[in-house]
Amino acid sequence: LGEYGLSPIAVARQKMIEFIQHANGPVNSDILWAMMRRDMRLIDFKNAVADLVNGHKLIKVDSDDGIAFVYNEDLSKVFDDLVEDREETHA
């Protein structure tokens, strides 16, 4: 995959996004790690989750079972809000 520009971590991150996107609700972090542990090291998992949350692709939620994640269905709204905030700051 590397010769085509896809690192194993990038493939694993995409797998993680798709799993959460097609889940029927929030995915507990322990379940997500159990699913991803064959594809990446723990530090890579933590970094990937942090990057996806910071990039607004995943939303971190508190559930009865601890931290969970849901796919952000409305990325366009997030980016529209960022543009509005930026325009207000520079006005």
Query: Distance between terminal CA atoms of the chain?
Result: 46
Q: What is the mean pLDDT of each run of 10 residues along the chain (91 residues)?
A: 70 93 93 96 96 92 92 70 64 59
Question: CB–CB of 26/19 below 8 Å?
Answer: no
In contact, 59 and 22? CB cutoff 8 Å:
no
Model pTM score: 0.73
pLDDT reported for residue 74: 79
Q: Give me the pLDDT at residue 33, please.
A: 97
Nearest to 17 by CA among 79, 69, 76: 69
